[in-house]
């Protein structure tokens, strides 16, 4: 009987499951959070072996007779000839290690030591070893297994079950397998899987949107391109981006240079190994880095043609003092974060600004980034959030935002958005932006089985439709089924809007203070009992308490005249007036209070309790808005234009909101009555059957 592996190739999911199931042999030896310390490096080693299988013997034969001094130079030439970026000079592989079970520990050390330095540097990330040192200790990869007498069994299972030869498992498929294994590992240890893995159909959609409009450049002779991902994970954005460019151009030899930085050591190792195994013209030691992008940019001064990212959602960038200081230091004219800083609990817009800082002003750059809903509207006018959005419009960068359906990601079920930026936009798009509401089931298909929180994936038809809508850059409508009724509606899902539709001014409104003075003596007594009288106010309050005649209610002018007489002063200072007004009670029927009591020319004193703001759209005249929306309800109000703040927000949901009137009570009652009647009919049928 043929096994599945013999009769057909496995899917990414099936192969990942086979690899992940190897963990069962070490279940009692490793905690859930530690299992990946075995599964990931051994999967990588098995893949490296399979890539070398067809060339190992030939290269080893040519090296065999050479003196050690010549082998190093000859090996480089042989690797170039065979289009390999790495090799293992031990002549061993995981499969060959099985030939000597009794010495597998010693042989495993020889096997690891035989890899070229670039592979050792990658493997060092699985043991948290300092890759800058000359001597990298890789023993932790296998020593614990050897001590527990599990090393042979683990090697045997990987050899028997995981055939990762490039003829059967492409580089793209291998990358997906790694990502699925990582997701399984994070789910097993209750770690967020979404921050490690962006589903490939979303990656491809983002890539296609980001590359859209630059197709003609792909056919220019001598052109090469660069792609950058500041939080590259396992490298999915980079590899799909390169493949997409080569696919569009029809040239597999198109030079596409990949750059990235990744915080997590293990995902960085997988990314670097994936690019290494492709064997193309990449100088990875100067293109791919491990480290915190926000706190330590490893590619300072570099610019790129295309930039792609899915930064972690809701990650606190202020927890690490070094990162926080670096970010704050770069919040300056000419700095990466010149436009502003979002709140510390979400650094996604920091990544966006970081990417903008690497725009190529000459050749142009396009940026595609996955964001949650917060960057659309968080923050009032004048806040870091709003100022960042304002910068996007002021620099004419924002080209499109696409809303995706829920339940597309493994670690989160929230709605996500694809933002597309371009610094060389066509003249006809200047100060315009296209919003596409693709958050509908029509753009997806349901998975047969949930993968974490992922229930749907973007269908190929849905992705094509989204790309077509973006390419046309015009309003668009589609037939969409309204879930609550099952009825099909023809609704607008793409809107072409002016930048000014999102700009607004926050204007402060003020209303006058109105005071009456009642029962002043009892008020002072109560304040004394509560010990709430300020030190500088005591003398005035004691004098008022001693001689004030609380025979009637007084307005501000009357009370100040009485107080001046009691205090024996020709005139009251502004400090005196301010102190005395603490004894007043606000009352809408009282006369207006002026800075100088009774002097209208001195100006009205605002009642701080009635301070308010109005958010006035850019396209509306502020004075007319105030007359229409404020004065009819507060005739004594005025605007304090000295504290105006300019803001920007993208109210995506509100823009696509469709009002649907509630059903009438008669309709609901009729439906309930029908259900009641149907139930009675069913009961009668059941009784008859008995």
Q: How many residues does the chain have?
A: 690
Give me the half-sphere count of Cα atoms (radius 13 Å) on the Cβ side of residue 639: 21
Q: What predicted TM-score, i.e. pTM, was given to this entire model? A: 0.86
Q: Is residue 110 part of a domain?
A: yes
pLDDT confidence of 464, banded at 50, 70, 90? very high
Mean pLDDT calculated for residue range 21-37: 86
pLDDT at 45 over 90: yes
Instruction: Clarify whether residues 352 and 322 are in a common domain.
Output: yes
Of 184, 213, 248, the position where a domain reaches its end is 184
Band of pLDDT at residue 427, cut at 50, 70 and 90: very high
Q: How far apart are CA 453 and CA 447, in angstroms?
A: 11
- Asked if pLDDT for residue 509 goes beyond 50, the answer is yes
pLDDT in tens, 473-499: 999 999 999 888 888 999 999 999 999
pLDDT value, residue 2: 40
Could you tell me the CATH number of the domain that includes residue 287? 3.40.50.150
pLDDT value at 152 more than 70: yes
DSSP 304: B
Q: Same structural domain for residues 492 and 591?
A: no
Q: Which two tokens stand for residue 187?
A: 């789910």
Q: Are 141 and 256 in a shared domain?
A: no
Lowest mean pLDDT among 123-132, 189-198, 573-582, 655-664: 189-198
> Residues 598, 688: one domain?
no
* pLDDT tens readout for residues 587-600: 999 999 999 999 99
Given pLDDT bands bounded at 50, 70 and 90, which one contains residue 32? Answer: confident
Domain check: are 685 and 576 in the same one?
Answer: no
Per-residue model confidence (pLDDT) at position 64: 84
Over residues 296-314, mean pLDDT: 94
Share of the chain above pLDDT 70, in %: 96
- List the helix and strand counts (H, then E) for the chain: 26, 18
- Could you tell me if residue 678 is inside a domain? yes
For residue 618, being part of any structural domain is answered with: no
User: In sequence order, what DSSP letters do the residues of 523-580 get, joined into one string?
Assistant: HHHHHHHTT-S-GGGHHHHHHHHHH---SS-EEHHHHHHHHHHHHT-SS--HHHHHHH
Query: Does 541 share its domain with 573?
Result: yes
Please give the average per-residue pLDDT across 536-542, as a whole number. 92
498 phi, psi to nearest 5 deg = -80, 145
Same domain, yes or no: 289 and 153: no
pLDDT of 69-113, one tens digit each? 888 889 989 998 988 889 999 999 999 999 999 999 999 999 999
As to burial, measured by CB atoms within 10 angstroms (0-12 exposed, 13-18 middle, 19+ buried), residue 254 is middle
What single DSSP character describes residue 425?
Answer: -
Is 140 a domain residue? yes
**Cα–Cα distance, 464 to 325 (Å, whole number):** 43
Domain stop point among 466, 500, 534: 500
Q: Would residue 133 count as lying in a domain? A: yes
Of 487, 337, 433, which Cα lies nearest the Cα of 650? 433
Same domain, 547 and 673: no
Q: Mean pLDDT, the chain, as a whole number?
A: 90
Nearest Cα to Cα of residue 210 among 309, 346, 286, 284? 309
pLDDT by residue (tens digit) across 605-626?
Answer: 999 999 999 999 999 999 999 9
Q: Which domain holds residue 676?
A: 665-690
**Contact partners, residue 124, CB within 8 Å, separation at least 6:** 130, 131, 136, 138
Q: What is the pLDDT of residues 270-298, one digit of tens each?
A: 889 888 877 666 788 899 999 999 999 99
Pair (302, 382) in one structural domain: yes
Number of independent structural domains in the chain:
4
- Please write the tens of the pLDDT for every residue from 5-27: 443 568 888 899 999 999 999 88
DSSP character string of 236-268: HHHHHHHHHHHHHHT-TT--EEEEEEESSHHHH
- Domain identity same for 347 and 224: yes
Q: What's the confidence (pLDDT) of residue 195?
A: 52
Nearest to 528 by CA among 515, 541, 547: 541
Residue 549, pLDDT > 90, answer: no
Q: What are phi and psi of 43, to 5 degrees?
A: -65, -45
Residue 623 in domain: no
Q: Same domain, yes or no, for 69 and 145?
A: yes
Report percent pLDDT > 90 for the chain. Answer: 65
Pair 126, 265: CB distance under 8 Å: yes
**Quick check: 273 and 129 in contact, CB under 8 A?**
no
Instruction: Answer yes or no: do 164 and 204 share one domain.
Output: no
Residue 619 inside a domain? The answer is: no
In a domain, 407, yes or no: yes
């Amino acid at each position: 009987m043929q096994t599945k592996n013999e009769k057909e190739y496995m899917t990414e999911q099936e192969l990942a499951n086979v690899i992940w199931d190897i963990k069962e042999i070490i279940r009692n030896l490793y905690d859930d959070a530690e299992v990946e310390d075995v599964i990931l490096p051994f999967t990588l080693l098995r893949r490296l072996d399979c890539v070398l299988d067809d060339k190992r013997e030939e290269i080893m034969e040519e090296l065999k007779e050479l003196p050690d001094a010549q082998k190093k130079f000859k090996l480089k030439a042989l690797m170039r000839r065979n289009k390999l970026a790495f090799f293992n000079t031990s002549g061993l592989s995981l499969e060959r290690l099985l030939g000597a079970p009794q010495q597998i520990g010693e042989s495993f050390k020889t096997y690891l030591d035989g890899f070229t330095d670039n592979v050792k540097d990658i493997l060092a990330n699985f043991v948290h070893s300092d890759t800058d040192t000359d001597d990298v200790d890789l023993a932790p990869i296998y020593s614990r297994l050897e001590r527990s007498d599990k090393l042979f069994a683990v090697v045997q299972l990987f050899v028997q079950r995981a055939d990762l030869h490039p003829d059967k498992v492409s580089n793209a498929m291998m990358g997906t397998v790694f990502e699925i294994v990582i997701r399984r590992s994070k789910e097993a240890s209750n770690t967020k899987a979404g921050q490690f893995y962006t589903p490939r159909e979303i990656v491809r959609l983002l890539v296609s949107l980001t590359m859209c409009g630059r197709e003609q450049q792909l056919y220019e002779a001598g052109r090469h391109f660069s792609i950058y991902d500041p939080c590259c994970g396992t490298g999915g954005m980079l590899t799909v981006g390169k493949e997409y460019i080569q696919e569009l151009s029809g040239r597999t030899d198109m030079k596409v240079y990949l750059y990235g930085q990744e915080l997590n050591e293990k995902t960085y190792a997988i990314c670097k190994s994936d690019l290494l195994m492709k064997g193309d013209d990449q100088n990875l030691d100067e293109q791919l880095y491990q480290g915190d992008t926000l706190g330590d940019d490893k590619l300072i001064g570099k610019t790129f043609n295309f930039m792609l990212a899915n930064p972690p959602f809701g990650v606190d960038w202020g927890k690490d003092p070094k990162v926080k200081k670096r970010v704050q230091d770069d919040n300056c004219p000419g700095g990466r974060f010149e436009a502003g800083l979002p709140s510390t609990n979400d650094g996604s817009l920091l990544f966006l600004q970081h990417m903008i800082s690497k725009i190529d002003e000459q050749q142009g750059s396009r940026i595609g980034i996955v964001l949650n809903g917060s960057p659309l509207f968080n923050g009032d006018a004048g806040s870091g959030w709003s100022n960042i959005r304002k910068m996007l419009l002021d620099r004419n960068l924002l080209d499109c935002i696409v809303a995706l359906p829920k339940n597309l990601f493994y670690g989160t079920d929230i709605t996500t958005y694809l933002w597309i930026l371009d610094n060389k936009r066509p003249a006809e798009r200047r100060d315009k932006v296209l919003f596409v509401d693709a958050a509908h089931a029509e753009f997806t298909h349901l998975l047969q089985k949930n993968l974490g929180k992922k229930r749907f994936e973007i269908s190929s038809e849905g992705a094509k439709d989204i790309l077509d809508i973006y390419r046309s850059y015009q309003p668009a409508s589609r037939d969409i089924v309204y879930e609550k009724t099952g009825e099909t509606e023809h609704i607008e899902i793409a809107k072409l809007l002016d930048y000014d539709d999102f700009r607004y001014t926050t204007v402060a409104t003020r209303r006058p203070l109105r005071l009456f003075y009642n029962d002043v003596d009892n008020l002072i007594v109560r304040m004394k009992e509560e010990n709430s009288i300020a030190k500088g106010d005591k003398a005035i309050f004691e004098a008022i308490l001693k001689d004030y005649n609380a025979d009637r209610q007084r307005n501000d002018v009357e009370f100040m005249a009485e107080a001046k007489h009691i205090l024996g002063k020709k005139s009251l200072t502004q400090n005196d007036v301010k102190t005395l007004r603490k004894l007043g009670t606000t009352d809408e029927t009282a006369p207006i209070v002026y800075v100088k009591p009774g002097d209208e020319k001195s100006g009205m004193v605002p009642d701080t309790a009635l301070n308010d703001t109005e958010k006035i759209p850019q396209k509306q005249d502020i004075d007319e808005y105030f007359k229409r929306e404020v004065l009819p309800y507060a005739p004594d109000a005025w605007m304090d234009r000295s504290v105006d703040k300019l803001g920007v927000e993208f109210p995506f949901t509100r823009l696509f909101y469709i009002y649907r009137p509630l059903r009438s009570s008669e309709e609901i009652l009729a439906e309930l009555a029908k259900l009641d009647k149907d139930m009675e009919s069913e009961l009668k049928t059941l009784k008859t059957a008995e």
